[in-house]
Chains A and B, each alone.
Chain A
Amino acid sequence: SAVISQKPSRDICQRGTSLTIQCQVDSQVTMMFWYRQQPGQSLTLIATANQGSEATYESGFVIDKFPISRPNLTFSTLTVSNMSPEDSSIYLCSVEGGEARDYLYNEQFFGPGTRLTVL
Chain B
Amino acid sequence: QKEVEQNSGPLSVPEGAIASLNCTYSDRGSQSFFWYRQYSGKSPELIMSIYSNGDKEDGRFTAQLNKASQYVSLLIRDSQPSDSATYLCAITGQGAQKLVFGQGTRLTINP
Contact = CB atoms under 8 A, between A and B. Distances in A.
Nearest to B99: A108
A109 B46 contact: yes
Interface stretch (B12-20, B62-70, B101-109): B101-109
A109 B10 CA distance: 25
Interface in A26-50: 31, 33, 41-45, 48
B98 A58 contact: yes
A110 B44 contact: yes
Contacts of B98: 33, 45, 48, 58
B56 to A, nearest CB: 12
Given A58-B98, A96-B97, A106-B99, A43 B88 contact: yes
A1 B43 CA distance: 15
B32 interface: yes
A113 B43 contact: yes
A113 B49 CA distance: 22
Contact of B34 (A33, A107, A112): A107
Contacts of B32: 105-107
Given A43-B88, A105-B32, A106-B92, 12 more contacts: A41-B103, A42-B88, A42-B102, A43-B44, A43-B99, A44-B101, A105-B31, A106-B32, A107-B46, A110-B43, A111-B43, A112-B43
Interface of B: 31-32, 34, 42-46, 49, 51, 88, 90, 92, 97-104
